[in-house]
Structure 1
Amino acid sequence: MKFIDALPPYLLAIGALVCFGMALWFFWQESLKTAGALSALFFLCVVLAYLPQAESINAFAVNVRLKKNVDLAKDAISQLRELAKVNARVGYTTLAWGNRMGTPSAADKKALVDQMEQQLEALNVSKQDRKEIARPLVRLIGLDLYYSFLQTMERYVHVREKDYTDQMRQHPEDQATKEAYQKHIFAVNDWRTQLDHPYDDVDGYNLKSSLRRALPTPWVNQQDAEAARKLADQIQTLFDDCAKQGGYTADAAKFIDRYGDTKGFNDQLKETFGRGFD
């Protein structure tokens, strides 16, 4: 077959002409078997010479059938693209809501999301469509980041309460300390009252607003308030990058895995305020 493919088309064309002429001659001589064999050889030469060079086939209704097949193939690809979009939407949503207690890790989720993103891109799903499909996941990434911040602040509440308790134990007659502790309790209660509950509105919450309300400004000193603001700004930046990408960024996945559980909350407390939680 390779030998035939390597033959120049004009040699096969010459062979076809020779076979055609000889077939006519033997037919004229009434040698029908020989004429028939030469006719078959003529047809074979034509096929081998013409078809490999043809970019389209227009004989009879073949071209019409080919066009219909191409249209069917295009429709199939379009349907496959829509199917992939639906499958990805289900995958993103399942991945977002599943295993909310810490497994799989954010890094593992990111690897799966990246694979789905590559599949959608290969099917020519637009970036805008891919971001819309990934929206449930991105919204829940924001909740994970917010929860890490809020839990860190809650631990700081207990650290401050422990400070007041130790002071009152050491100086039980110090009225000023008792009054400061009462003010702290009232300020923390007011702070908790104004906190947002973004889990009640996963699709519509505003992370920036929620972080602002969760800042402990009313009951901490200026230095600690600034440290909390820096952490809130870091979290907001991580979320904005995730929204822009349409999924986990490497930094966001690393942050959630590092500060997304009890040990992580305590570590963040130490890194932000320089205080530990026992």
Structure 2
Amino acid sequence: MEKLREIYIFVAFVVGVGCLLLAAFQAWSGNMKSAAGLGTAFVVCGIFLFLSQIKTFKVWEVQVELRETLDRAEEIIGRLRRLAAISARASYLTISWGNRLGTPTAKEKQVVLDDIDAQLVELKVTPEERAVIIRPWVKMIKADFFFLFTRVVRGIAPLKTTELVAAMHATQSQAATDASMAHSDLITPWSKKTNADFKAMDRLENKSLSAVIDEWMPEKGGWLSDKELAAVVLFKKEILKQADDSEKKGGYTKESAEFFDALLKHEAEKSEEIWNASKK
């Protein structure tokens, strides 16, 4: 088909040129009617040539417009991707710091962030860009698990103190008095060390959660007995599992969010559970 079109164009061109030359010759000879007829034939050949090129011209024009449209669309998508990344980062930062307020729940927050994450995937935001976006949230989750752990463990201290004081009053024995005083002597410096001077957020910035918990925990031979310390270590493993799973995901998993929310509501009960477990 393309070959026939080329032949048609060639013939129309040759005929048109011939008509033009003959028209000029007839006009020079004074035969104006023949010259006019040949001139008309030349124009007709020119029209045929133009019509044969309309498809080509039109296709070329559409191709140019399509290319420009595609370039524009890619530019718009690029801008949308950047705006989505900025918006997502703002959302992650807002929810991360809002996590200090305690509401909504970790599960509810993570549902919102999972929706944002899905939009980032659809817009083909790179893993590197996503890592930057979610970093504040991941850091805050690690911090939340740390402080949750510390509050539960601190909750064991008054339980032990109450029991030691009760034993001292009940028995009036020197051994009970010594045990109560020894506990006080051991827990006081530890409490001072692990309060404001500990600077947990600074440590968590460059160290793993496990390492910072180890630095915070009472040492062997401290205010916790070996059995009590062993019970706390089991709780530490629970915390680390949920925190590690969350870090791998880049946000709370369903299980870790439920674990965190439930424990947040029942910190005192967890302290008592660990304390009772240490007596078995």
Q: Using structure 2 for the length normalisation, give the TM-score.
A: 0.71
Going from structure 1 to structure 2, the CA distance change for 1:57 and 1:158 (only over 3 Å counts) comes to: farther
Q: Does 1:239 align with 2:238?
A: no
Structure 1 or 2: larger helix share?
2
Amino acid at match of 1:267: E
**Which position in structure 1 is the counterpart of 2:32?**
none
1:256 is aligned, of 251, 255, 260, to 260
Aligned-partner Cα distance in 2 for 1:185–1:240: 35
Deviations 1:121-146 (A, max 9, x none): 11111233223211111111112111
Please, which of 212, 230, 243 is the counterpart of residue 210 of structure 1? 212
Deviation at 1:205, TM superposition (A): 5.1
- State, as a whole percentage, how many aligned pairs show the same letter: 27
Query: Cα 1:57–1:238, aligned 2, differ >3 Å: closer, same or farther?
Result: farther
Residues 93-172 of structure 1: matches in 2 within 5 Å? Answer: 93-98=93-98, 100-172=100-172
CA deviation map 1:41-66 (0-9, x unaligned): xx9xxx9xx8xxx9x9633x442232
Structure 1 counterpart of 2:190, which letter?
A: W
Contact 2:85–2:133 (CA<8 Å) still a contact in 1?
yes
- Partners of 1:147 and 1:99 in 2: how far apart? 12
Which region of structure 1 is more displaced relative to structure 2, 236-245 or 195-204? 195-204
For structure 2, which runs of at least 5 residues remain unmatched after alignment? 1-50
Q: CA deviation at 1:201?
A: 6.1
Which residue of structure 2 aligns with residue 175 of structure 1?
A: 174
Change (3 A) 1:197 1:251: farther
Q: How does 1:73-84 map to 2 (within 5 A)?
A: 73-84=73-84
Query: Of the candidates 227, 232, 236, which is equivalent to residue 228 of structure 1?
Result: 232
State the Cα distance separating 1:243 from its structure 2 match: 1.2
What is residue 58 of structure 1 aligned with on the other side? Answer: 59
Task: Letter of the 1:183 partner, please give it.
Answer: A
Aligned AA (1:190): P
The answer to whether the 8 Å contact 1:89/1:133 transfers is yes
Distance in 1 (CA, whole Å) between partners of 2:184 and 2:165 is 12
Counterpart residue identity of residue 231, structure 1: F
CA contact (8 A) 1:207 1:236 kept: yes
Which amino acid in the other structure matches residue 125 of structure 2? V
Pick aligned residue for 1:265 from 258, 263, 267: 267
Counterpart amino acid of residue 76 in structure 1: I
Q: Deviations over 1:185-238 (max 9, x none)?
A: 122123224433323566445321221133344222222211111111221121
Q: Which position in structure 2 is the counterpart of 1:190?
A: 189
Larger mean CA deviation between 115-124 and 187-196 belongs to: 187-196
TM-score computed with the length of structure 1 as normaliser: 0.72
1:9 is aligned to none
Q: Is the 8 A contact 1:152 1:265 kept in 2?
A: yes
Aligned counterparts of 1:207 and 1:222: Cα–Cα separation in 2: 22
Residue number in structure 1 paired with 2:89:
89
C-alpha distance 57-86 of structure 1, shift in aligned 2 (>3 A): farther
Higher-Rg member (1/2): 2
SS in 1 for 2:100: coil
Q: What is the RMSD of the two structures over their aligned residues, measured on CA atoms?
A: 2.6
Work out whether residues 140 and 202 of structure 1, in 8 Å CA contact, stay in contact via their aligned partners in 2.
no
How much has 1:76 moved relative to structure 2? 1.0
Match of 1:40 in 2: none
Structure 1 stretches of 5 or more lacking a match?
1-42
Partner of 2:252, secondary structure, is coil
Counterparts of 1:69 and 1:239, CA distance in 2: 47
Partner in structure 1 of residue 14 of structure 2:
none
**d(CA) in 2 for partners of 1:169 and 1:274?**
21
Counterparts of 1:11-30 in structure 2, within 5 Å, are none
